[in-house]
Amino acid sequence: MIELHDLRSPSPRRPRKRVGRGPGSGKGKTSGRGDKGQNSRSGGGVPAWFEGGQMPLQRRIPKRGFKNRNRKEYQVVNVGDLGRVSGAATPEALRAAGLIRSLRVPVKLLGGGEIESAIECSVHAASASARRKIEAAGGSVTVLGTGGGATAPDGGKDD
């Protein structure tokens, strides 16, 4: 008679099928792979994306666009948001104000919004409209040299 201490819960996993263990196992000799052919060999079979020799989908679809490997990703801050920063707008101050996420990624100032007070900005790049608005309000923009790919204060023009 079964006692409570003899009960076992059924395992959540089915035990692994042991193939190639003789004819009595039901999976002996060819181990359930059938006789001969590509799929009976070790390493046999075709990749999941193989279409039987038909021109594969990734080659049938037209390719478009271009991905620049040397692109510099900036964290952007609009001029209108600079009112949330107390004092000079440095990357550290922008981070403290919650306008950027990381100090490792360069910061670019864009001209969205309006600015009322004069503010000193030190960023890695700035758009011409942002520079105009800040200077019109009596502030100044300093372009930091770090961050790789930062533009020169004159916009990178060679005269």
49, 56 in Cβ contact below 8 A? Answer: yes
Tally Cβ neighbours within 10 Å of residue 140: 13
Distance, CA of 36 to CA of 140 (rounded, Å):
78
Mean pLDDT computed over 107-121: 89
113, 79 in Cβ contact below 8 A? Answer: yes
The answer to whether residue 74 scores a pLDDT higher than 80 is: yes
Distance, CA of 131 to CA of 140 (rounded, Å):
8
Mean pLDDT computed over 54-72: 93
Distance, CA of 14 to CA of 26 (rounded, Å):
17
112, 137 in Cβ contact below 8 A? Answer: no
Q: How confident is the model at residue 14 (pLDDT cuts 50, 70, 90)?
A: confident
Q: Is pTM, for the whole model, over 0.85?
A: no
Q: Provide the token pair at 9.
A: 């819960």
